[in-house]
Structures are given as C-alpha cells and as structure tokens.
Amino acid sequence: MDNVYKVALAGGLFAAFTFVHFVVDWILQTHAEAMAKHNNWKVRARHCLIYTVGFVPLMWYLNFTIVQWVVGLNILFWSHFVEDTYIPVFLWAKHIRKPPEMECEDKMEGFRLFIQTTLGKILMIAVDQIIHLAFLFPLVFMAMNNTASKLF
C-alpha cells in the first residue's frame, strides 16, 4: 500500500477513535468522578470501565480478532487507569516543564500550585489528552492490519 494511503487510513481511523475517546471520557463522565478519580481507585476503575466499553462498537465494526480484543481492551483500560492518576502529567511537569512553582521542596505541592494557574490548567489538560490519545495508536494499527489487506 502506498504510504499516502497508509497515512490517510491511519488518520481516518485515529479520528474515529479520538471521537469515541472524547465522547466517553468527557461527555459520559460526571463532575464527581472527574474530581475524585485521581485519588480514588474505585471511582477511577468505574470510569475506566465505562471508557473502555465505549470503544466496543467501533472495535466490533472494525472486525477486531480475539487477540486484538484482549490487547485493545487492556490498552484502553490500563493506560486510562494510570493516566487518570495524573502521575504522568506530574512527572512531565517535574522533569520537563519545570515551572517555578515546583522549585519548592515539596514537588507535589508545587504541582498543585502550578495547576491552579491558567497556564498550568491548560498544560495539564493538554498533556493529559496527548498521553490519552497516544494510547489509541496501537488500536489504529490493529484496525489497519484488518482493513488494509481487504482494500488493496
């Protein structure tokens, strides 16, 4: 398959997966869940289960194999479970962004101060979403593997 078609196919599939991501992660999440999930594993697990189940129709439509179902559902659930602790965003802020608020002794307190700023909130959400979306690429590639051979 020509590289342009591969990129176009991957982009279309990524757009579909991204749409599902935003619907199930933002629209189907209550405010109470959003405020508690980072430090309550039961609330986070419930949210991640709803999130994962939201992808089932698309995965079914894209003819995922049994192995792809197992791998895909695990990627969706566990990547979301870890990311919603905000630990990956904290590590990014601590080691890469290094805002002045985090120059204090207590890095977690510095992170809390940073995300209270407008820029901190914007960057926290942006980095969080970039990480979430990055974990959709393995599912895109699995779907491409199923689709590409039938198209060409």
Mean pLDDT per 10-residue segment, the chain (152 residues): 88 98 96 95 97 98 96 98 97 96 94 96 96 98 78 51
How far apart, in Å, are the Cα atoms of 102 and each of 16, 55, 121, 124, 144?
Answer: 37, 37, 14, 14, 42
Tokens 């999130």, residue located:
51
pLDDT in the model for residue 148: 56
Q: What's the chain look like in SS3?
A: CCHHHHHHHHHHHHHHHHHHHHHHHHHCCCHHHHHHCCCCHHHHHHHHHHHHHCCHHHHHHCCCCHHHHHHHHHHHHHHHHHHCCCHHHHHHHHHHHCCHHHHCCCHHHHHHHHCCCHHHHHHHHHHHHHHHHHCCHHHHHHHHHHHHHHHC
Burial class for 61, CB neighbours closer than 10 Å (0-12, 13-18, 19+)? exposed
Place of tokens 């279309």: 12
The pLDDT of residue 46 is 97
| Residue 3 confidence (pLDDT) | 87
Contact criterion met (CB below 8 Å) for 99 and 93: yes
